[in-house]
Amino acid sequence: MSALEYYRILGVTPASTLEEIRRRYRALARQCHPDLNPDDPEAPGRFRLIVEAFEAIQAAKARTKANRTRRHAGNYRRPRFTDKEFVFEEFFGINQEGAPLSHSAGANFRYDLEISFMAAMKGMGTVIAVDHQPPCHSCRGTGLAAGTQYATCPECQGRGLRFGGPGLLRFGPVCERCRGLGKIVAHPCRHCGGTGSCQHQREYHLRIPPGTRDGARLCFEGEGGAGFRDGPPGNLEVVIHVAPHDFFARVGNDIHCKVEVSFAEAALGGAIRIPTLDGFQTVNLPQGTQSGWTFRFHGAGVPGGPHQPPGDQVNEVIVTTPQNLSPWQRSLLLELGRLDREPLDRAGHE
């Protein structure tokens, strides 16, 4: 396959930088990886072609850079036709020197797990099931029925590309029948249907530690997608999402909450019960408590770790104003208001 066709596969140009090509490759690899497209039988072929194109372009650019470095060395000069040689190597793949295509690691899997606020504070154990597509044991990932071999693609005669114009550009786009592989599965494996992989669920036992934050990640190395060309498998990453709580809110290692008290409770003071992570605590409000006052329960916040003390629970008092008063309640408040104004009225007449 020509270098120009490799650029077409990745949707880049020879003028693209290696970093731009890498970004494009990563995006296509994630999009077309077989483990992420279990219902698409053509995904393995597309993925292999994308990996091959990226590694071929990367190797060509590395050779070009090395040759140019040698050419500009003080005691080494290349013939003048070398620049043309670079052009033919990069665009048409005439120069076949260089390292063979290397192994590629498998895709990383992500599993999003939502847990309650109290479960995050207290810790919990749970089991998750993740879909995998391991290689078929019957055909060992080839997709072939027992005793059969790959057949040459009849559309491209094994070249992986459809015929185009004459000369060096005689090959056209990638063959749709074989997806650029040049071969097809004529007799598919009866266990996997020719895909080379089987659907499978694996269970993972998770232990969520106390005080887990929203967005925390648990990593299972080697439990992601299968590698390419015997490359290492990817990883499984479990992302924890902590649901909000109706009463508590986490701020750092402290727990904040708003405690509503009635007008009478705030004015007269007295004992009230406040929920905590471990039940309730009783606190005595002073007479004349104002809305916005705060007080702490030390050590009642986010659980601490081996080298970290627990946080506090910060309670903010919210004094509620009564609504829909009964006639009796209204008369009491009117009398209270009159009594509050009497000192002011006397001071104004003195």
Q: CATH number of the domain that 255 lies in? A: 2.60.260.20
pLDDT band at 341 (very low <50, low <70, confident <90, very high): low
Total tally of structural domains belonging to the chain: 3
| Backbone CA torsion sign across 284, 288, 291, 295 | negative
Last residue of a domain, one of 202, 226, 242: 242
Residue 266 lies in a domain: yes
DSSP 118: H
**Residue 231 shares a structural domain with residue 123:** yes
What is the C-alpha to C-alpha distance for residues 332 and 264, in angstroms, rounded to an integer? 12
The yes-or-no verdict on residue 170 having pLDDT over 90 is no
pLDDT of 259 above 90: yes
DSSP string of 49-104, one letter each residue = HHHHHHHHHHHHHHHHHHHHHHHTSTT----TTHHHHHHHHHHH-----SPPPPPB
216 vs 164, higher pLDDT:
216
User: Pick the residue with more confidence: 325 or 109?
Assistant: 109
Whole-number pLDDT of residue 318: 96
Please state which of the ranges 162-176, 249-263, 319-333 shows the lowest mean pLDDT: 162-176
How confident is residue 79, by pLDDT bands cut at 50, 70 and 90? very low
Query: Residue 307 corresponds to which tokens in the numbers above?
Result: 């080298």
Answer whether residue 220 shows pLDDT above 80: yes
Burial class (CB in 10 A: 0-12, 13-18, 19+), 100: exposed
User: Kind and range of the H or E element at 24?
Assistant: helix 18-32
pLDDT of amino acid 242 = 96
Compute CA distances 214 → 113, 142, 252, 288, 344, whole Å: 10, 42, 11, 38, 54
**pLDDT of 154 over the 80 cut:** yes
Q: Is residue 136 part of a domain?
A: yes
Asked if the structure places residue 296 within a domain, the reply is: yes
Residues 238 and 265 in one domain: no
- What mean pLDDT, rounded, does the chain reach? 79
Are 138 and 189 in contact, with CB atoms under 8 Å apart? yes
217 — pLDDT class (breaks 50, 70, 90): very high
Same-domain pairing of 194 and 237: yes
pLDDT bin (cut points 50, 70, 90) of residue 230 is low
Domain match, 222 and 255 both: no
Residue 197 and residue 131 in contact, taking contact as beta carbons nearer than 8 Å: no
pLDDT at 232: 82
Q: Residue 6 in 3-state DSSP?
A: helix
Distances (CA, A) of 41 to 33, 54, 61, 76, 188: 11, 22, 32, 51, 12
Tell me: pLDDT of 33 over 50: yes
Token code pair at residue 62: 């590395």
- Domain containing 41 equals 3-92
Cα gap 246→249, rounded to integer Å? 8
The CATH number of whichever domain residue 16 belongs to comes to 1.10.287.110
Condensed to tens digits (0 to 9), the pLDDT of residues 98-110 reads: 334 445 677 788 9
CB-based contacts of 312: which residues, under 8 Å, 6+ apart? 254, 255, 296, 297, 298, 299, 300, 301
Regarding whether 302 and 221 lie in a shared domain, the answer is no
The pLDDT of residue 340: 65
Q: Give the pair of three-digit tokens for residue 39.
A: 């219902």
Say if residue 129's pLDDT is above 60: yes
Which pLDDT belongs to residue 255? 97
Pairing of strands 217-220, 236-242: antiparallel
Is the model more confident about 285 or about 172? 285
Q: Which pLDDT band holds residue 171 (cuts at 50, 70, 90)? A: very low
- Which amino acid is it at 306? P
The residue among 88 and 240 whose pLDDT is bigger is 240
The whole-number pLDDT of residue 282 equals 94
Least Cα distance to 49 among 87, 104, 95, 92 occurs for 104
pLDDT confidence band for 65 (50 / 70 / 90): low
- Fill in the DSSP letter of residue 197: B
Do β-strands 200-208 and 124-132 pair in parallel, antiparallel, or remain unpaired? antiparallel
In terms of domains, do 16 and 38 share one? yes
| Last-in-domain residue among 92, 117, 134 | 92
Grade residue 19 by pLDDT with cuts at 50, 70 and 90.
confident
Same domain for 211 and 282, yes or no, is no
Q: Which of 41, 20, 22, 19 is nearest to 32 (CA)?
A: 41
Q: Across residues 134-155, what is the average pLDDT?
A: 87
